[in-house]
Amino acid sequence: MNTNNESASRPLNFIEQIITQDLERGAVEAIVTRFPPEPNGYLHIGHAKSICLNFGLAKRFGGTCNLRFDDTNPAKEDQEYIDAIIRDVEWMGFPVGKGGLSNVYYSSAYFDQLYQWALELINNGKAYVCELSPEQAREYRGTLTAPGKDSPFRDRSVAENLAEFEKMRNGEYAEGACVLRAKIDMAAGNINLRDPILYRIRKQAHHQTSDKWCIYPTYDFAHGQGDAIEGVTHSICTLEFADHRPLYEWLLANLSVPAEPKQYEFARLELNYTVTSKRKLKQLVDETIVDAWDDPRMPTIAGMRRRGFTAAALRKFCDLIGVTKSASTVDLGMLEYAVRDDLNENAPRAMCVLKPLKLVITNFEEHFGAGDKVVQQPCHPNRSELGAREIPFSREIYIDQSDFTEDTSLSRKKFKRLVLGEYVRLRGASVIKAEQVIRDDDGNIAAVECTLVANTIGEDPPEGVRPRGVIHWVSATNCVTCEIRLYDRLFNDASPDAGGKDYLQCLNPSSLEIISGAKAEISLTQATVGQGYQFEREGYFTLDSRYTTAEMPVFNRTIGLKDNWANKV
């Protein structure tokens, strides 16, 4: 879904068709969707699709979307994750809280009501306390082709179940000693209906309710009832929850809930060259394979934001892939296309020399006098409203080492940069000619002496002067020294966790290259976190929020100017 009117021009997806029909026939007065992340990790690209869908539906149809934290397992949850999730949702363009599309809700706020509903099921003979061990419970559950068998505790009386559940509530049992299960059908073809667990014992303080509870509801028990409490009309899940829908509906039908929301499933986002399992992402963090959840190589929203992806690009990507019922794998190149397209349109231009080579323009003062000559360049070639920037042009400048060669045999077609004895144009400045190489004591090139051609700033050179091409540069005396981090895909295998592979063996050893001593144009002293720039001929970059200091700015490469992976597969 998109947050602007662009999505209104495309055909409705199947969920939008359902909502349109429900509104037209009066089945609902206003739609309420929900986005229910568990705060046990950071949100990733798959969540971005769900955010865009659920919040986008609310925006499109004038409804609301509830951000509800599924905080039913305190053993894995943390306030850090809650804060990060809220930050990510708002960065994606969907403000929560006062004045936003959503308020913030917690499943834990419903623990008292859920407990009462558990008692209701027990009193109606539809739930029981089971003392099978986890191993025994798996054995009794059966398989996909064989029915399960009844627990020996299934026929306990209502009074006995109430007493046992109270003991669970009071902490009289150890973790794992018993659970509360719904009494449905151990022979059901859908294994989720074979007396599923409703409550487990967890003797751990909760980040919202402190030590009030030592039993916690399962997601399946809290899910539908939370939807009902909040008046959710369309509870939208990914396809793996389709087999859970009969349980969702059974619970709503057998409890005195205030409403009966409907569940619909869509295909989750599967992206190649990517791992989105929270367990695996956490392993990458815990084992310091990446530096944090927001490492720019991570598929987390925080990582993509730090890398320089824009929210607009993520929303466009989610709109491009659409919403269907058919599971498929999306090429990572489509996401990169959306990012590259957005930055090409919106990122201001700048010049940065990654591996500097000094040029000394020996006749500079003859033409411009002492000091710098200030030249102007547009901030964007196609967007005059972004203005222009002033760049100091000096007697000594830096170009990239790869932009100079002494090999005069190279043809113009093969090497369109600076060759000893030939001409090249400096971007936005003069045409120059490489005259002589200066070497250090070890014989390495220390500098190149050049001469400039008069009156060639913004003008064609005189007849007979044929520049090979145009190269970028920065003033050697008026520039910014910075660190450059060249990020690439974290995995070099299109399916890193498929077919029993060890995904850690699929890591790309070239996913990060750190370059020290790069030189950037002086305007980048004003660079801000969150603003993307196109470093001419190098790619798109953004200021790093973690490692940048007042003394040393650090720029992350968001993405290259071209797709360099297209020829690798």
Least-confidence region, from 3-7, 25-29, 352-356? 3-7
Residue 266's Cβ-count burial label (10 Å; 0-12, 13-18, 19+) is buried
**What is the radius of gyration, based on Cα positions, of the chain?**
31
**pLDDT tens sequence across 197-251:** 999 999 999 999 999 999 999 999 999 999 999 999 999 999 999 999 999 999 9
Q: Is 38 annotated as a binding residue?
A: yes
pLDDT score for 273: 97
Among residues 87, 149, 200, 278, the one annotated as catalytic is: 278
280 is in an annotated binding site: no
How many whole angstroms separate alpha carbon 241 and alpha carbon 126?
A: 23
* Confidence at residue 99, expressed as pLDDT on a 0 to 100 scale: 65
40 labelled binding-site residue: yes
pLDDT digits (tens, 9 = 90+) for 491-511: 999 999 888 899 999 999 999
Tell me the pLDDT of the chain averaged across its residues.
95
Between 10 and 115, residue with greater pLDDT: 115
Q: What is the average pLDDT across 380-401?
A: 96
pLDDT of residue 564: 78
Q: What domains, with CATH codes, occur in the chain?
A: 112-218 (3.90.800.10), 272-346+480-569 (2.40.240.10), 350-477 (2.40.240.10)
104 pLDDT more than 50:
yes
Tokens of 309: 């992806």
Distance CA 180, CA 199 (A): 5
Name the catalytic one among 154, 200, 202, 268.
268
70 annotated ligand-binding residue: yes
- How would residue 565 be classed by pLDDT, with cut points 50, 70 and 90? confident
Check if 38 is active-site. Answer: yes
Measure the CA–CA gap between 195 and 327, rounded to whole angstroms: 29
Q: Is 101 a residue whose pLDDT tops 90?
A: no
Asked if residue 302 belongs to a known ligand binding site, the reply is no
Contacts 24+ apart (CB under 8 A), 206-213: 206/71, 206/74, 206/77, 206/108, 207/39, 207/71, 207/74, 207/77, 207/78, 207/79, 207/82, 208/71, 208/106, 208/108, 208/109, 209/108, 209/111, 212/111, 213/111
Alpha helical stretches, state H, 356-458: 364-368
| Complete edge-to-edge strand list for the sheet that includes strand 532-535 | 349-350, 532-535, 539-543, 554-559, 479-487, 512-521, 352-353
Average pLDDT over residues 530-552: 96
Instruction: Tell me if 20 sits within 8 A of 57, measured CB to CB.
Output: no
Residue 83 pLDDT: 95
pLDDT digits (tens, 9 = 90+) for 318-359: 999 999 999 889 999 999 999 999 999 999 999 999 999 999
Cβ atoms within 10 Å of 464's Cβ, excluding its own: 6
187 vs 148: CA distance, rounded Å: 6
- Has 269 been labeled as part of a binding site? yes
Q: What are the pLDDT digits (tens) for 239-291? A: 999 999 999 999 999 999 999 999 999 999 999 999 999 999 999 999 999 99
183 is catalytic: no
Percentage of the chain surpassing pLDDT 90? 93
pLDDT at 2: 42
Task: Give me the pLDDT at residue 102, please.
Answer: 73
Whole-number pLDDT of residue 1: 40
Summarize pLDDT for 39-50 with one digit per residue, the tens: 999 999 999 999
What pLDDT is stored for residue 11 in this prediction? 87
Q: Which of 350, 399, 394 lies closest to 532, judged by CA?
A: 350
Rounded to whole angstroms, how far apart are CA atoms 543 and 327? Answer: 36
User: 545 a known binding residue?
Assistant: no
pLDDT > 70: what percent of the chain? 97
Q: Is 336 a known active-site residue?
A: no
**pLDDT value of position 219:** 96
